[in-house]
Structure 1
Amino acid sequence: MTQSKPSIAIVEDDSDQLHSIEEFLLDSGYSVWGVCSAEAFYKGFTVQPVDVVLLDLGLPGEDGLSVASLLKSRPEVGVIILSARDSLNDRLAGMRAGADRYLVKPVNLLELAANIDATASRLTPRAAADTLGSLGSMAAPAAQPACWVLAMKDWALSSPQGKCLQLTTHEFMFLQQLMRADCQPVSKRDLSSHLFGARAQNGAERLNLLLTRLRKKAAEAFSEPLPVKTLHQIGYAFTAAAQLVQDAQQLH
């Protein structure tokens, strides 16, 4: 690194928390900038790359897990998740997405600084990394063979053979939740609440109908079954290797 302390970006939609952390880090000698959404972060990072990203999960629009997944392919950038979500499943999801550390709010600021320094110490120097200075260089690696890919911006599912299927809103949301679970089952209650709202009626039946239609479309588009397993009285699981990318261009 070319400076004594790592540069930091804070992605936090709570303005009070953002300003509190930003002020502390600036006073501690770090170079810091902060934003309240993933979209603003991507724009800021293109202009002013940083060494470590402090990332909230519950962001408006694109969530923190998606940002962490994109940064996973950047060995010169460290990711520390700061979240009020303290369950084991949340922690595991954060680490699987590519976070170096997962700290539960409220975070002691001295402890945060120590974690920043420890994370920065393992980074690949930026000059030695493949930095292209654009959002495209932040993309997750291209899909590997035998991997299903969900394009976030295009709402498209691609099979391991490269065939593509355009998805409806609910189909996209359904597959997004399953793929983020990393082969672990997602309950029908959680899926119904996410897709149709917490007070939706007949959520389980609507999910069954949605999956039936999606399986039929996938069979026609891919000439192979969709790897979604129904777990009786539990929910559903996406059982094959899967990857989330920002848009379909990253597949080429």
Structure 2
Amino acid sequence: MTPNPSSCRILIAEDDAELNQQITTMMDDAGYQTGSCLDGEAVLEAVARQPYQLILLDLMLPKLDGISVLRLLRKSSRIPVIVVTAKGAEEERITGLRHGADDYISKPFNQVELLLRVEALLRRAQPMVVEKPEALEIDQLTLKLSDLQARVGAEDLELTAIQFNLLWELAANRGDVLSKAYLSREVLNRPLGAYDRSLDMHLSRVRRKLSRAGWRGERLQTVRGKGYCLK
């Protein structure tokens, strides 16, 4: 999904004032919000003041060079960065990528190519939103997410919210082994403790309730050393 330019703020870090203004105008015309810096120290100050979704970073900046800026940024931020290098400066590009740059472009660059690279990187940086289905059905077992309702045939199952969510995750990923660490985060909303047996307890209760309703609870399987799976 292509992000809306108006919701993206881009920082242009270029010490050539004329080129900086040209890039800023280009990004403004494309609908992006922009900020600009003429030296490396100003980049760090700008990022500390407000969030940016992408930085165009010239590597030959005064006060603090682009590689140093990138190295400091990567200690606390994964903001996408396109490094701008001189034509033919292969070693600079490699160094930039090694220190955490996401892409590069060489001067002089084609404006259309720069805009396409910016758009592509912003698109890759967007978190993937996966829509959950409203209901799942597996061999007479029906799960409705909207009201946390579980039913075998015409019989309702009395499941707690945690038990329902555990069953839902396993049903939605049927055939896959889901780790206890993953399920602890998704179902219990906490990291898995070293001696935490909560998931075992909840799974055991879900198995019993399914079996009492005439559905084979043993299809909820424990895979030793790995996690759980619904067959």
TM-score (norm 2): 0.50
TM-score (norm 1): 0.46
Q: Which fold has the larger relative contact order, with Cα–Cα distance below 8 Å and residues 6 or more apart in sequence?
A: 1
Larger Rg: 1 or 2? 2
